[in-house]
């Protein structure tokens, strides 16, 4: 039996047509938390640690659009059906964005202020996590289509606005 294992790096964004997006309870992912603060559903965004060995002192993470993850799943399945061996692939854009860069990008996309509060580091949080997706690119011919932070946030913001304006609205 053969298999493919896909390792995601910070799945983010929403369907570009706004049919599906993130909705967790409790929410723990940075981009939705930032957008909840932009929409007024959360009072502030908490930044954990400002003393990492990164350009602005906050953690760097690789964000990958959910649409691109779906495409990678399809390509991985096709590779197995065509007889490929079992493999593990990292899925990310290969670019790291700091917490402050995510917040700044969200401010630009939304045109809104995003209140912040500073906190100490969380135990075990590495300063930098960025994917090396070269194997997926080479073996699956996979290329992220939505590879910029601003587009990922734009799609997630459209989802946030849709859910805030929907009949059901967001549950507290």
Please indicate, yes or no, if residue 143 is contained in any of the structural domains. yes
Residue at 25 is within a domain: yes
Query: Structural domain tally of the chain?
Result: 1
Domain assignment of residue 79, yes or no: yes
CA 62 to chain CA mean position, Å: 7
CA dist., res. 37 & res. 162, Å (int):
15
In a domain, 60, yes or no: yes
| Helix boundaries (H) for the chain | 30-39, 66-81, 99-110, 134-140, 149-165
In angstroms, rounded to a whole number, what is the distance separating the alpha carbons of residues 139 and 125? 31
Give per-residue pLDDT as tens, 67-125: 999 999 999 999 999 999 999 999 999 999 999 999 999 999 999 999 999 999 999 99
Answer yes or no: is 167 within a domain: no
* The pTM of the whole model exceeds 0.75: yes
Place of tokens 């009072």: 43
Inside any domain, residue 114: yes
> Bigger pLDDT: 110 or 22?
110
- Distance set, CA 37 to CA 1, 22, 40, 107, 150 (Å): 46, 15, 5, 10, 17
CATH number where 84 lies:
3.90.25.10
pLDDT band at 32 (very low <50, low <70, confident <90, very high): very high
Name the residue range of residue 11's domain.
4-159
Token duo for residue 110: 């939304």
Q: Is residue 170 part of a domain?
A: no
For residue 149, tell me if it sits in a domain: yes
- Confidence at 167, pLDDT banded by 50, 70, 90: low
Distance CA 2, CA 6 (A): 14
């Amino acid at each position: 039996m053969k298999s493919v294992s896909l390792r995601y790096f910070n799945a983010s964004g929403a369907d570009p047509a706004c049919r599906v997006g993130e909705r967790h309870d409790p929410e723990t992912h940075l981009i939705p938390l930032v957008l909840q603060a932009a929409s007024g559903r959360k009072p502030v965004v908490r930044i954990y640690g400002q003393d990492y060995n990164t350009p602005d002192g906050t953690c760097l993470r690789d964000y990958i659009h959910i649409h691109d993850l779906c495409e990678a799943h399809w390509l991985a399945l096709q590779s197995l059906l065509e007889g490929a061996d079992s493999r593990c692939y990292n899925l990310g854009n290969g670019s790291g964005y700091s917490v402050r860069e995510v917040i700044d990008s969200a401010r630009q996309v939304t045109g809104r202020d995003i209140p912040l509060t500073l906190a100490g580091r969380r135990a075990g949080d590495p300063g930098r996590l960025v994917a090396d997706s070269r194997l997926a690119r080479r073996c699956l011919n996979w290329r992220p289509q939505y590879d910029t932070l601003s587009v990922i946030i734009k799609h997630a913001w459209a989802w946030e606005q849709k859910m805030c304006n929907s009949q059901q609205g967001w549950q507290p």
